[in-house]
Amino acid sequence: MDLSEMKIGQRFQQETKYYRPAHRSKPPERVAEFLQTRKIPLPPPHLDGGPSLWKALRERRSIRDYSPAPLSLKDLSALLWATQGITEKAFAPWYRTAPSAGALHPIDTYLVVNRVEGMDPGIYFFEVVEFSLILRREGDFSGPIARAALDQEIAQSAAVVFVWVAVIQRSRQKYRQRAYRYIYLDCGHIAQNLYLAATALGLGCCGIAAIFDDEVNDLVGVDGQEETAIYLATVGKK
């Protein structure tokens, strides 16, 4: 679709993307088939113990240096639950740990797993309701995700990179072009929960907003129009 044919929210999303100069004139290429079958159930999060919320708020920092030690699946489960876990099955799509405008929850989570105990490196999709991870692409994507994050090395050295993708229509069906405002607010709620959960677990976390949008979109397999990456966060052991 030509930019002149887009409505204001759509134009904002497209015109604020970062592009490498050589890539601006052409869409990203699909580089692999996506897997759909391998599912990893996540262990239930342990919600007792740990520091108080007030202590976590006081100690929260953006941590950019990570050790080469892998993350445990138990810690990854806790982080995912903190960001989008279901807290009460009162009505679909149920209550979650992070608020969402109209309870529409337009943000999907993908993970670039570099080092997690018991998991193969690759790109995974977080299935919120079943609380599981679905392998989408197998392999080492630490280099590509770092290059897509404006060549920021922290995305390569982290144990896991969270990739938050907005599914625009979930919000636009109700809020029309104003949905683009709410999508970014929703993602901010999720990201802050990740920061606080990582702090409580003694892990490092750092958000990344500077990305070559369509390179990230290509990595996780979304079209960059109706589903588009909007924010990343790295997590690893200090």
pLDDT tens per residue across span 129-176: 999 999 999 999 999 999 999 999 999 999 999 999 999 999 999 999
With contact defined as beta carbons under 8 Å apart, do 199 and 231 qualify?
Answer: no
pLDDT at 47: 85
pLDDT at 163: 98
92 contact partners, CB below 8 Å, separation of at least 6:
none
Q: Where are the beta strands (DSSP E) in 84-131?
A: 86-88, 95-96, 107-113, 122-127
pLDDT at 46: 86
pLDDT band at residue 49 under the 50/70/90 scheme: confident
pLDDT at 31: 46
pLDDT band at residue 23 under the 50/70/90 scheme: low
- 2: pLDDT strictly greater than 80: no
Matching residue, tokens 């982080």 = 79
DSSP 47: -
**Residues 56-110: tens digit of each pLDDT:** 999 999 999 999 999 999 999 999 999 999 999 877 768 999 999 999 999 999 9
pLDDT at 50: 87
Q: Could you give the C-alpha distances from 45 to 97, 169, 185, 189, in angstroms and in order?
A: 13, 30, 25, 20
Fold of 52-237: NADH Oxidase (3.40.109)
pLDDT at 90: 79
**Residues 206-229: tens digit of each pLDDT:** 999 999 999 999 999 999 999 999
pLDDT at 121: 97
Domain limits, the chain: 52-237
More confident call, 112 vs 92? 112
